[in-house]
Amino acid sequence: MSINFNESSRKGADKLTPEPKNTGEDPLEKAKRTGERTRFIHRLNPQIDRSYQIFEYNFKNGDYEHAGDYVLINKSEKTEITEKKLINLMTLLNGKDNLIDISNLTKVRSLFTLVPEAQAGDQTKIILKDYDGSGVSKENAVFTIRKGVFDE
């Protein structure tokens, strides 16, 4: 029986030099791979167009759980802007303040309305609106997160 040691070594080397991860890595997979425990992370909802799922790390279960959603209503908004808004939202929820200033990318005033508890159920529901200075404001997105995340 002959053993090709070169082949055996090559197999082991694959594990030592992992392929570089691309920037589009799933946040949940990245968190598991790196062991980083950011409280809130987001990713595109595979089921709903221009919609994002928000996950929260649960220490008891040791895993991320679905905690909310960000559903874009104004589909004409550029993806770049929506992505940066989500990053800003996660930054704030994670207690950081290094926000991306996107004021130069928009020409509208950003407003928000908190939906009354009686209508929002067991979630905190916030309607985000755009106001361009004329007429009435238009709905931009709906952000929902499990009740209790925000301080009362």
- Binding residues (CB under 8 A) for another protein: these are 39, 56-60, 81, 84-85, 88-89, 92-93, 95, 97, 99-112, 114, 124, 126, 128, 131-133, 148-152
Q: 123 by DSSP, 3-state: which?
A: strand
In angstroms, give the least distance from the CB of 124 to another protein: 7
Torsion of CA 4, 7, 11, 17, to 10 degrees: 130
Task: Give the side-chain half-sphere CA count within 13 A for 123.
Answer: 16
In angstroms, give the least distance from the CB of 122 to another protein: 15
CB nearer another protein, residue 8 or residue 92: 92
CB nearer another protein, residue 12 or residue 62: 62
In angstroms, give the least distance from the CB of 61 to another protein: 8
* Cβ(86)–Cβ(52) below 8 Å: yes
* Cβ(129)–Cβ(140) below 8 Å: yes
For residue 5, the surrounding DSSP H or E stretch is helix 5-16
CB nearer another protein, residue 48 or residue 114: 114
Of 91, 48, 102, 47, nearest in space to 72 by CA? 48
In angstroms, give the least distance from the CB of 10 to another protein: 44
CB nearer another protein, residue 22 or residue 61: 61
Chain center to CA of 49: 14
In angstroms, give the least distance from the CB of 22 to another protein: 27
CB nearer another protein, residue 10 or residue 99: 99
Rg of the chain on CA atoms, in Å: 21
